[in-house]
Amino acid sequence: MLKIYHMTKTYPGGKVGADDVTLEVKKGEIYGFIGHNGAGKTTTIKAIVGLHDFEQGSITIDGVSVKDDPIKAKSILAYIPDNPDLYDNLSGLQFLNFVADVFRVPKDVRKERIEKYAEDLEILNALNNQIASYSHGMKQKLAIISAFLHDPKLLIMDEPFVGLDPKSAFIVKKMMRDFCDKGSAIFFSTHVLEVAEKLCDKIAIIKNGKLISSGTMEEVKGDASLEEVFLELTEEA
């Protein structure tokens, strides 16, 4: 579903954000991406969703190159940033209608999905309120609903659990699992190693822009805990 092949991104000034990153996320997989602050997680994610250009390598989503056909690639993915800055002057529903329009979600389908996800995440009653009045967690929930709204093939999430209450985090985890069980894929970054350990089928660890380990959970951590392996790898490398 997602193939990153020798991708390198250098920022103006020479700082390497991602250095020769190669990984593959297959259909039905939840792929975790972990690393220190500034390790290159967000840089890689932004390159996948077309927010950043990159100089070398390639990224394809379901066979579509994000460089050659960005619109087609974006039409089959959804992205949730770490800090969702949304349109403050719109209501939650106006924002969701906007996203649904862009992805051409039919009226009855969008109504059904919005009400279902908003009900599950307990923000249905707030949908007519201005986004400016939302807490960080509510904005995060709105961004999550907008991502699931058009039933994408690939979901890219940057720290999706930040700001969510425990119940909502649980629901989102369930939504993620159900989503992948239907044949889609998720690539997400997190600092919460326990979540990664329980939720992910595969995992990649990045440090200073370079992947230092990747594979199935068993391949990466063996018999140790993910925390021990992560600390050991990031200090060694």
Binding site for other proteins (CB under 8 A): 46, 49-53, 71-72, 74-75, 79, 81, 83, 85-87, 89-91, 93-94, 97-107, 110-111, 114-115, 125-130, 132-133
Min. distance of Cβ 171 from other proteins in angstroms?
20
Q: Closer CB to other proteins, residue 100 or residue 185?
A: 100
Q: Closer CB to other proteins, residue 41 or residue 221?
A: 41
Q: Calculate helix-pair angle for 107-120, 136-148, nearest 10 degrees.
A: 140
Q: Closer CB to other proteins, residue 14 or residue 166?
A: 14
Distance CA 233, CA 54 (A): 26
Between vectors from CA 95 to CA 92 and to CA 152, what angle results, nearest 5°? Answer: 110
**Could you write out the DSSP letters of every residue in 171-190?**
HHHHHHHHHHHTT-EEEEE-
Min. distance of Cβ 83 from other proteins in angstroms?
8
3-state secondary structure 12-66: CCCCEEEEEEEEEECCCCEEEEEECCCCCHHHHHHHHCCCCCCCEEEEEECCEEC
CB 108 within 8 A of CB 62: no
Q: Closer CB to other proteins, residue 52 or residue 173?
A: 52
Min. distance of Cβ 45 from other proteins in angstroms?
10
Min. distance of Cβ 119 from other proteins in angstroms?
12
Q: Closer CB to other proteins, residue 34 or residue 100?
A: 100
Min. distance of Cβ 151 from other proteins in angstroms?
14
Question: Checking DSSP bridges between strand 185-189 and strand 30-35, what pairing results, if any?
Answer: parallel
CB 153 within 8 A of CB 61: yes
